[in-house]
Each structure stands twice: as C-alpha cells, then as structure tokens.
Structure 1
Amino acid sequence: MEEDYVEVRKSWWERNWKWFVPTGCVSILLIFVLFIAGIFFGVTSMMTNSDVYKGTMNEVQHNQLVIEKLGTPIEDDGMTSGSINTTNNDRGNCNLQIPIKGPKGQATVFVVAEKKGVWKYSEMTVFIKATKEEIDLLKK
C-alpha cells in the first residue's frame, strides 16, 4: 500500500515573518527619526533665515572689537537656540543665542528684540568664551 503524501505549503507570512518583522520595525523607526530631524532642521532654518538673525550676524561681522577678539571670518558655530514669535509680520518678539566662531576663538551672541513694525533690539551682546568678556553691540 502506497502512502500518499500531501505537501502542505506554508503561507507567505509563515515563510517570511522572520525578516519582515525586524525590517518593518526598523522602517517605522527610520521614518520617525526622519520626521523629527525634518522638524528640527525646519525650525533651525527658520531662525537662521529670520531678519533678526541676519541683522545680528551683520552687526557681529562688522564690529571692530569683535573682529579684534575673534578674527575674521566670523561665522555661526552650531545650532542657534531660542525663540522667534511673530504675528502678521507686524508684531513679535525674539530671544536668541547664536554660537559664533572666528580664527581666534568662540563666542555666543545673545539677542533680545521686540517687533512693532520693525525690530527694536533691547539686547545684542557677544560673550567671548576664552576671556569671559561681554561686548555690547548696541553701544555706538
């Protein structure tokens, strides 16, 4: 008597779950990380493209005392932190910390401003890290 063997074929899931589950988990994690990175770089880009940031960097790069302490060129050195809030582009406020560097050293620029049509700065100081010196850019 011959026995008939019926081959039972496993489903796709039964054959492939061992590689599909880890790949799916890694994919979801990667999408989440890319989403968070996109938000981070979007916010950072928004700050560095603002009028306050550009005006501050212009002041820093043309201030003789800062040039004396840091050398030229003076450029940003990492991530700008703080906040910029505006409504209808007519009103707003800003509080930024901008890390900068030059060939002779590093510093941080502290900016506080309020906008009522135009930005009015109440603080724009450069803190030189090596000497702990503070340079007020609003004093002319």
Structure 2
Amino acid sequence: MEDSNELVQSKSWLNRNWKWLIPSGCLTLIILVALFIGGIFYEVTSVLKDSEAYKESMTAVQNNKLVVERLGSPIETDGIVSGSVTSSNNLRTCDVQVPIKGPKGKATLFVVGEKRGKWKYSEMSVYIEKTNEKIDLLQP
C-alpha cells in the first residue's frame, strides 16, 4: 500500500496535469494570434483614417447637399475602411473605399487620387446602396 502512495506522490506536475496543459496552451496561442492580427488591422485602419485624402473626402460628403438629403445627417463611417494609401518619393496615391451611413441609409465612399503638393482626385463619389445611385462629389 505504501508503494502505491509513493508512486502517486512521485508523479510530476506535468504527468498529473497534461490533459489541461495542451488545451490551455492552444487557447493561449489562438488568443495571441488574434490579438496580433487585430493590432495590425487597427494600425492599417488608423493610417487610412488619418490620411488627408480620407479627411478631405469625408468633409466633401458632409458638405454635399444631395448626399445629406439621401442619407440624412450626421453621416459617419460604418465599418471597415479598405484600400491603400501609398507614398513613394514626392508622390502619394490613394484608392480608398469607406462604408458610410446616415439615419436614412448606407452608402460607400470611393476616393482615388494622387498628391504632388496638393491632392488631385480622379474619383470621389458616393454609391448609395438602396437606390443604386452614384453621386459624384467632384462635380459642383
């Protein structure tokens, strides 16, 4: 009887708890990977939202009477900003899609442009999902 007690007591912590170690290690690894991906996603999104092109286009949206009439006021972003803002030498380019919403509906803001001193946009438009309407923000 004493020999079996000694055998139970001599088992290491790892031998007694291995069934819990593997799942908790996997869960920890999954959480760390999710936090890493979330951090990268947050950083990329904040870079897009901090760009001049994003700020200028959101100002154009909020000052456009037709967009405000269709979506209502206030107009704000509605989800994930996607696209790219790149910089090479003195040239910056952007190709950004911003989901937006207002009290009356949802839309997507499309911004394409380049900057050499000042931003010059080849496209800045709002596509309203409900009515399939495209509003060009570059037209007066």
TM-score (normalised: structure 1): 0.91
The answer for unaligned runs of 5 or more in structure 1 is none
Deviation at 1:44, TM superposition (A): 0.9
TM-score normalised to structure 2 length: 0.91
Unaligned runs of 5+ in 2: none
The C-alpha deviation readout for 1:58-99, integer Å capped at 9, x for no partner, is: 0000111111111111111111111111135x3111111111
Secondary structure (helix, strand or coil) at the match of 1:85 reads strand
Matches within 5 A, 1:14-53: 14-53=15-54
Deviation at 1:5, TM superposition (A): 3.5
1:4 Cα offset (Å): 7.1
Is 2:109 the counterpart of 1:106?
Answer: no
Q: Which runs of 4+ in 1 moved over 4 A?
A: none
More helix by share: 2
Measure the CA separation in 2 of the matches of 1:104 and 1:4.
Answer: 79
Aligned to 1:112, the other structure's residue is in SS state: strand
Q: 1:131 to 1:12 in 2, by over 3 A?
A: same
Amino acid across the alignment from 2:68: I
**Identity between Structure 1 and Structure 2 (%):** 53
How many pairs are equivalent? 137
